């Protein structure tokens, strides 16, 4: 068995200059992984013209690696990632508000039943 050199890449440690060295959709994949823990930096990264639309295969890789619940359509060749992420954030915020409202209603009901005793 021959020895082959393997280069491992840690996306979180890549600098902007190193990210710019990628010329394919791997650049968007690595950038998304790098910034996936910080939504402000991720949106800033995705809002640049070169990262707005991403190939569907790259989106599938991003979805799998980062566990991001992005809707992937089989008909489309590209997806506008910035819009997809903004939709995810809005959906998450709406879900949080709804959960808060339910908890508030439960607390009100519990308070009302305790005051009758």
In a domain, 97, yes or no: no
Token pair 């060749």 is found at: 77
**Residue 117 predicted with pLDDT over 50:** no
Token pair 């021959």 is found at: 2
Q: Which helix (H) or strand (E) covers residue 107, if one does?
A: helix 81-116
In a domain, 108, yes or no: no
Q: How far apart are CA 25 and CA 87, in angstroms?
A: 22
pLDDT of residue 49: 60
Give the pLDDT mean for 25-37. 89
Domain span holding position 73: 11-82
- Domains of the chain: total: 1
Q: Which residue has the higher pLDDT, 36 or 115?
A: 36
Q: Which of 8-12, 40-44, 91-95 has the lowest mean pLDDT?
A: 91-95
In a domain, 99, yes or no: no
Q: Which of 5-9, 69-73, 86-90, 97-101 has the lowest mean pLDDT?
A: 86-90
Cβ atoms of 29 and 58 closer than 8 Å: yes
In a domain, 31, yes or no: yes
Give the pLDDT mean for 25-40. 88
In a domain, 117, yes or no: no
Burial class (CB in 10 A: 0-12, 13-18, 19+), 46: buried
Give the pLDDT mean for 26-50. 84
What's the token pair of residue 13? 């440690």
Band (pLDDT 50/70/90 cuts) for residue 12 is: very high
Picking from 36, 89, 100, the residue whose alpha carbon sits closest to that of residue 62 is: 36
In a domain, 65, yes or no: yes
pLDDT of residue 50: 64
Band (pLDDT 50/70/90 cuts) for residue 116 is: very low
């Amino acid at each position: 068995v021959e020895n082959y050199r393997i280069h491992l890449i840690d996306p979180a440690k890549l600098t902007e200059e190193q990210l710019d060295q990628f010329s394919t959709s791997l650049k968007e994949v690595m950038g998304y992984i790098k910034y996936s823990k910080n939504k402000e930096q991720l949106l800033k990264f995705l809002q640049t013209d070169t990262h707005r639309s991403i190939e569907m295969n790259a989106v599938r890789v991003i979805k799998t690696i980062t566990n991001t619940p992005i809707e992937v359509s089989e008909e489309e060749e590209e997806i506008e990632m910035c819009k997809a992420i903004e939709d995810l954030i809005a959906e998450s915020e709406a879900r949080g508000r709804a959960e808060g409202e339910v908890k508030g209603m439960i607390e009100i009901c519990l308070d009302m039943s305790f005051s009758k005793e």
